[in-house]
Amino acid sequence: MYKTKLDRTLRVIKERDVGIQGLTLASMISSLDRLGLLTQGTVAALAGDFTPKLCAYFIHKGIIKKDMNVKDILDTMFRSFGYKYGEYKIETKDNEVLVNIVTDKCKVCPKGVGGAEIPGTACPLPYMISVCLSLLTDKLWMPKVYGKGAKKEVLRKEEGTCKMKIALTNQA
């Protein structure tokens, strides 16, 4: 059992060029799957707790400054997790941010990196982005929710790309 996990993880680290931060995050989240606790809602709650701590680190170390624009904040965040240009794309327009990630290059995917075996998604990125932008811009940002009922998701997978939209809300 452990040998299989080791071999799978070694392959994923090599193929995706995953750093220790992404591996730790994805693995911790995917561990909830084995406990029967992993849902997109659980991931949203977790991101609400750990993202302010990540932002505090980024600010303390001078990696991110509150006066940076939204695109630069997110570029810096993604680069800190080991993403390379071409593995993700960030577009800002009006009051929204569109983020596309090459699915098989994602560094924090609980399924692809962590090995979670659930239907749907458990992606922490839409919530991490929303919380980070809310803290650093003093405005409320929220991920767009796609679908209805039990099929709600905060990203869409299309043609090998995970696509998410984060929008500025009218709430204070």
How do the domains of the chain map onto residue ranges? Answer: 2-168
**pLDDT tens-digit profile of 13-54?**
999 999 999 999 999 999 999 899 998 889 999 999 999 999
Q: What is the pLDDT of residues 133-148, one digit of tens each?
A: 999 999 999 999 988 7
Q: Read off the tokens for 6.
A: 């080791």
Domain 2-168 sits in CATH at: 3.30.1380
**At 171, is the pLDDT very low, low, confident or very high (cuts 50, 70, 90)?**
low
Look up residue 104 and give its DSSP letter.
G
* Cβ-proximal residues to 155 (8 Å cutoff; 6+ apart), any chain: 121, 123, 125, 126, 143, 146, 162, 163, 164
Six-digit token pair at 74?
A: 């997110």
Q: Are 133 and 73 in contact (CB under 8 A)?
A: yes
